[in-house]
Amino acid sequence: MNTNTTEEIEIIRATSSKIDTVDFENLTFGNVFTDHMLICDFKDNKWQKPIIKPYEPFLIDPSAKVFHYGQAIFEGMKAYKDDNDDVWLFRPDQNFIRFNKSAVRLAMPEVPEEIFIGGLKKILDLERNWVKKGIGNTLYLRPFMIAIGSGVIAQPSTQYRFMIILSPARSYYSGEVKVIIAEHYSRAANGGIGAAKAAGNYSAQFYPQKLANEKGFQQIIWTDDATHTKLEEAGTMNVFFKINDTLYTAPVSERILDGVTRKSIVDLARKEGIKVEERSVLVDELVAAAKDGSLKEIFGAGTAAVINPIVGFSYQDTYYELPKIENSTALELKQKLINIQYKLAEDTFGWTVKV
């Protein structure tokens, strides 16, 4: 593996910027991209020189392994702008580590830090005008890797493409989120790829997600594949349950993505003196808590949505509505996390990294 430094990343600038054509007040998540993208190919058993160039489509052979065998992984992270116009990343080291864990699980080459973190900083520096000030405004960062080697034989590719694309975003979810608890379908299994941020984990959810949407639910809370009795995570969020005064969230496992927001919420909550237990919550326990009134809150936690309160859940065709509460722990923790991300509160954890 060669050792590219950030200085070695070549930049070909776009001749003009499309930024003035973008309506930053009315963005739908993930549809608009900035002027540039980063590309770095892996071939001849080593990473080549990364390049930042104007955002544009590219050609790949129709027999490329990504199309046939799904060797594709990604990350999702955000950049924030503070009141002094400085741009910040939130725990990028965690995304870097997780990306390479996904790479190993999908038999793909690990990406060196100089390319992943160095590349992120370099492209963000170039696109800093796309990071808008003000809470709720972010630039969503999508590093990803695909297998571009050709040949329809079911074996790992020898050629890969690592890329970073950037998309200005506002808050992800709007409106009330009602969830349905998975009783038949699964997103992950022991020994599978659930803990990797692999493209196939998401396509596997689309059909059950569609069925849930048709029934009026925005998300599914997945349960363990073997027994469907343990609550695990939602589409792109880890899930927390507040029962009495304790927050519960499933422990990370080979079926659950090790969310950066999840671990930050656990640390933040503990610092605030809130009791947190990382242990499996049983569906029966949740139903019982909903019935006897000890279930206070359910919320999802993830980069895109930050924290998303859930208003009710359905299980075995019965819908359980959560109580309306005034001092929601979800919103209190969300505010604290956002204050750190936007540099409005002291970052005692050392999570924020300046670009």
Ligand X SMILES: Cc1ncc(COP(=O)(O)O)c(C=O)c1O
Please name the amino acid found at residue 5.
T
Instruction: Count residues binding ligand X (CB under 6 A).
Output: 12
- In angstroms, the first-to-last Cα distance of the chain is 26
Nearer to ligand X, 77 or 131 (CB): 77
Residue whose C-alpha is closest to residue 242's, from 326, 309, 305, 320: 309
Inter-residue contact 232 to 256 (CB < 8 Å): yes
Nearer to ligand X, 9 or 111 (CB): 111
Task: Write phi, then psi, for 260 (nearest 5 degrees).
Answer: -70, -40
- In angstroms, what is the minimal distance from the CB of 279 to ligand X? 18
Among 100, 159, 167, 236, which residue sits at the site for ligand X (rule: CB under 6 A)?
236
Q: Is 232 in the site for ligand X (CB under 6 A)?
A: no
Q: Is 257 in the site for ligand X (CB under 6 A)?
A: yes
DSSP-assigned beta bridge partners for residue 43? 46
Nearer to ligand X, 146 or 257 (CB): 257
CB under 8 Å to 265, separation ≥6 — which residues? 240, 249, 301, 307, 333, 337
Q: Is 200 in the site for ligand X (CB under 6 A)?
A: no
238-to-192, 198, 206, 241, 350 alpha-carbon distances in Å? 18, 16, 17, 10, 22
Nearer to ligand X, 262 or 296 (CB): 262
Residue whose C-alpha is closest to residue 32's, from 21, 47, 44, 43: 21
Q: Is 167 in the site for ligand X (CB under 6 A)?
A: no
Nearer to ligand X, 146 or 195 (CB): 195
Among 65, 121, 122, 262, which residue sits at the site for ligand X (rule: CB under 6 A)?
262
Nearer to ligand X, 47 or 162 (CB): 162
Among 92, 118, 143, 259, which residue sits at the site for ligand X (rule: CB under 6 A)?
259
- In angstroms, what is the minimal distance from the CB of 303 to ligand X? 3
Q: Is 91 in the site for ligand X (CB under 6 A)?
A: no
Among 112, 208, 302, 309, which residue sits at the site for ligand X (rule: CB under 6 A)?
302
Among 30, 70, 76, 200, which residue sits at the site for ligand X (rule: CB under 6 A)?
76
Nearer to ligand X, 167 or 261 (CB): 261
Nearer to ligand X, 237 or 295 (CB): 237
Q: Is 233 in the site for ligand X (CB under 6 A)?
A: yes
- In angstroms, what is the minimal distance from the CB of 126 to ligand X? 24
Position of tokens 């000890």?
Answer: 294
DSSP 4-23: --GGG-EE---SS--GGG--
Q: How many CB atoms lie within 10 A of CB 238?
A: 24
CA distance 245 to 165: 41
- In angstroms, what is the minimal distance from the CB of 268 to ligand X? 13
CB under 8 Å to 326, separation ≥6 — which residues? none
Q: Which residues bind ligand X (CB under 6 A)?
A: 76, 233, 236-238, 257, 259-262, 302-303
